Every structure is written in C-alpha cells, then in structure tokens.
Amino acid sequence: MLERRLEGLWRDLQGKKPHLPNFLSEIRLDGIRGFNNLRVVFDYPVSVIAGGNTTGKSTVLFAAACAYKVPGAGVRDYKPATLFPDYRPKFGERIDNREVVTIDFNYLTPDGPLPMRWRRGKGWNRSFFGRKNASQPERQLYLRTLSNLSNPSEVRSVLNMSRLKSQPEETPLTAAQIEFAHQMLPFRYSEVVDLSDGKKNLLFASQESGAAYSELHMAAGERAILRLSQEITQLNGALVLIDEVEAGLHPWVQQLLMLHLQQLALRNDLQIIVTSHSPVVLDSVPLNGKIFLDRDDISGEVVVRPAYRDLIQNALYGRSNEALKLLCEDEIAEGILEGVLDYLLPQERIKWESVQIGRDTGADEFPMHARSLAKFGQLQDTIFILDGDQRRGEIEGKIQAAAGPAVNISILFLPGNETPESWVWDMLKNIRSDVVIERLGIERSVLTNIMSQLDSTYDLASEPPSEIMKSKFRSLSDEIRRDTSDICRIVARMEADQGDSDIQPLVNDLRGILRQWRG
C-alpha cells in the first residue's frame, strides 16, 4: 500500500516540476575539498544524495544552501564564506591553502534557465556571466544539519532558560504541524509548545495520555520529527536541505517521513534535497531522485555514479542479505539466467528468493562495480555474468584487476560466441523440444515462417551485426507477442536439460557455485 502511494506521488511530483516557480537544477563544484568540476543534477523535486563517507554529500548540501538570497537572513547567513570557512589565524604557519574555487548554479525559472557563479579568489564574489542588472534569485531556505542539542555547550545554553527571571514566550504548534508528527509517531499530542527566549528555544510536549516533558527527555527520533514538523510544514516554495535525514529514525518511520516530505513538496511547491546512508530512504524516491557520490580509488576524485539498480545499491548502502547475487547486462541475459535457474534450483533444493539477479548495466561498467563492491566487502557472493561475445575481449581481466589481485571473483559467460540474442535465435531455428513450442504458444511452422521472413527483411540492413540481431529479436518478440526475456527463459530452460547443449558449461559452473554458496 505504501509503495503504491509513493509511486503515485512520483508521477504527480514529476508532472508538477515544470510548473514550480523556483527549481535548482544543477550545481558544479570545482577546487573545493578535492572536487574537480563535479556536476550534480537535480531532476526530481525530492532528491536523495547518497554515498560512502568522505564522498562530499554534506559539501553538496552546503553548496545548495548558497544558491539563493534568503529573505530575512543575516548578512553572513547562507554565504560560501560562512559555510566553507578558511582557517587563517594571525599567528602560526598552519593555514588553509587558498585555491581558486567556483560554485556554479543553474536555475529553472518562469523566464527560462538562469546561471550564477560564486568564485573565491582573495574573497568570495558572485558572477552572472555578463548579464546586466542581474541579481541572485530570492527564495526561502531551510537547512538542517545533523543533531542539534548534541554537544554539551548547546545543552547548557538551553538549560539556562530554566534560570530566567521572566516567563519564556510560548508559541503553540499549529494543528498542521502536529498532524505532520502524528502521521509518523506512535502516540498523540494534546499540545506542543515552543518555549523561546531570544535565540534559544525548547519544545515542550503534552500527550493525550497525560505525559508532559521537554525535548531534553525526548528520544532522538521523536525530537527530529517534531522539529521538522515545526520548521517546514509552513514553508511555501522553499528549498529544504536536510543532512542525514534518517538520523535517529526507525526504518519504517524513515519511509513514512519520505512519503510525507514528498506530499509536502507537492502541496507547498517545495524542492527538498537530503543526504542519507539509508537504503530505505533511497527506495523512497524514483531513480531520477537518487544521486550517488563515490570517490574514485584511482584518481581520488569524487564522481557522480549512474543510479545503481537494486543489486548494486543494496550491496553498497547497507542492505546486506544472504542471497547469491548474479550481475548481468540486460533483460536478455536475465532471461537466460532465469531459465538455467528454473532447471537448477529445484534439483539443488534452493528457493528462488535465495538468488538475486541484477541487470541494466553494460559490461564496461562491471570493473567500476567490482571496485565498489570490493570496497564494501560485498564481492564474495556476487557472480559476474558476461555475454558470450565478450569472451574475446579484455573485460574479464579488467574486472579481476579492479577487484584486486588478492580477491578471487567468479566470472561466467553466457552460451555461444555472439550476442545472447544470436544464441537464442539459433536455438529457436533448430528446436529439439516440442515443450518450447507449447510454452511459446505458437505452431512450429508458423514460428519457422516468421523467422524466415525476418531473416530476409534484415539481410540488407547496414547496421553492425549485433544491432541487427537485437532489432530482429525484438521484431520476433512483437510478432509472437511474448516478452524477449520470456522467450530467452523458455529456450534456456529446455537447453539446460539437454546434455549436449553449449549452455552446459554455464549450467555446470552455476551448479558448482550454488553448492559452494549453500555450504
């Protein structure tokens, strides 16, 4: 149910994006904290920046905080000089090196795209790329960094409120603010009040059960939700930035929070950017809402990786499981693997949920995945499956080199020496089992005629042979009204049962790996 609500929100928010009055679409960082022309694109109104430690998630978030002129903010608030300060004491030799730093922004506005740059030389200056009378766009902004009231000096500052000689000012939270909290917390409040004195403030909650207490006695998750309820539910058209949004929250509450943040973004025209280490938070936004930062092991530079599909994402961002993971290139390879596993798993008495197949990643990306998986200790139960036409290439050696010489990884090949589509095509032209015909739901003579006609149609095509084969196979799929992956699965299942098929090396290798993994 929650997943369906999220998917509906994704469609609504994506549709609303072109009509938002303000949208920060891109940030480029160069020369700051080791970033070398890092480009981060925001394509969905609620973005999650993920990555390992030291990959610069908070740096990107702080850069976003410098994008707008904020109404009512102080002179030094939301400026690069404040958020990216230098250590330059009057005495001593230890100082931060002053490099030329640029932070470029691209905005989508009702008047079209708009660029702006912050540049640090001797000081920080703004540039509008030669546009006369240009000014920094204005927008409300909210920035929450990890764990307020987390260190002793902050706690002592709030405790001093109890020594005031006058009554602190009381401001009750609105019904909308409290309702935001009620949707995630397991109890109901009769009242939540903000006690304030100057710049110091403290929340005080009263529950319907009769309990009453200040936020000094709240659990971290309760306090985080109440603070967010107080501070963002009344915002309209704002840019909301939250560092480590999952801090102190149970995974179920993390998912609820992301649901309600997206509902709030839709209702109040918000753009929200959060950082997170949580796979639950990542799963709560669509693919174009995920931004993965990684530090390249060779160059040391921070880069934006393509949004990983589930298998890689789960391994890198904490959702470990005991499944055997098979990483292949596309739905054709996935169909062949599913057919082989349909044959092997019942024999080995292994359940399907014990195996996970990841795809939609080209072979040239496998070395990058191997490096990342090795970094997080996730290579042991991951098998790389290459298409048959990769046997003559160098990719196998590159994958092994990326994993490291001390790591023994498993790399297998699909049957044949051409593309997987070519292998399946050849098997269909020489079908040895009537079971395949029955499962495809087509007569043998009809299938033969369709394939002959397609061979003739594509004989004169001028594309590379591999592309011709892909197009021809898709045409066959359309003609017989079966998904390409289903066709591959049916053929591979039947060929796995034939002792003389050239799929047997893959079958035998996978059988051995399954037995070793199970043990």
Per residue in 484-516, pLDDT (tens digit) is 999 999 999 999 999 889 999 999 999 999 988
Backbone angles phi, psi at 506, to 5 degrees: -65, -40
3-state SS assignment for residue 61: helix
Using alpha carbons, list the distances in angstroms from residue 139 to 68, 69, 239, 269, 341: 6, 6, 7, 12, 55
- Polymer length in residues for the chain: 519
State the residue for tokens 């904490």.
318
CA separation for the pair 359, 247 (Å, rounded): 31
Distance, CA of 392 to chain centre = 34
Neighbours of 505 (CB within 10 A): 12
pLDDT value for 53: 80
In this structure, the number of other CB atoms found within 10 A of the CB of residue 325 comes to 23
In this predicted structure, what is the pLDDT of residue 152? 45
Give the pLDDT confidence score for residue 88 in this predicted structure. Answer: 66
Distance CA 423, CA 340 (A): 14
Which stretches of the chain score pLDDT less than 70?
1, 34, 87-92, 95-98, 146-166, 199, 297, 307-322, 360, 376, 406
Amino acid at 391: R
Amino acid at 151: N
Q: What is the pLDDT of residue 138?
A: 93
Contacts of 194 (CB under 8 A, 6+ apart): 170, 171, 172, 173, 201, 202, 203, 204, 230
CB 329 within 8 A of CB 369: no
Residue 150: per-residue pLDDT: 46
Closest CA to 415 of 505, 498, 513: 505
For 331-374, how does the pLDDT look when each residue is reduced to its tens digit (9 = 90+)?
999 999 999 999 999 998 888 888 889 886 788 888 888 887 77
Helix segments in 102-164, DSSP class H = 152-159
How far apart CA 484 and CA 473 sit, in angstroms, is 7
CATH topology of domain 1-140+235-307: Rossmann fold (3.40.50)
Q: Which two tokens stand for residue 326?
A: 């098979």
Best CA proximity match to 339, nearest among 485, 518, 505? 485
Q: Where are the beta strands (DSSP E) in 159-310?
A: 169-172, 189-197, 200-207, 212-214, 239-242, 271-276, 290-295, 302-305
- Residue 444, SS3? helix
Q: In which residue ranges of the chain is CATH 3.40.50.300 found? A: 1-140+235-307
201 bridge partner residues: 196
What is the structure's pLDDT at 95?
A: 65
Please give the Cα distance from 84 to 413 (Å, whole number).
49
| pLDDT of res. 424 | 94
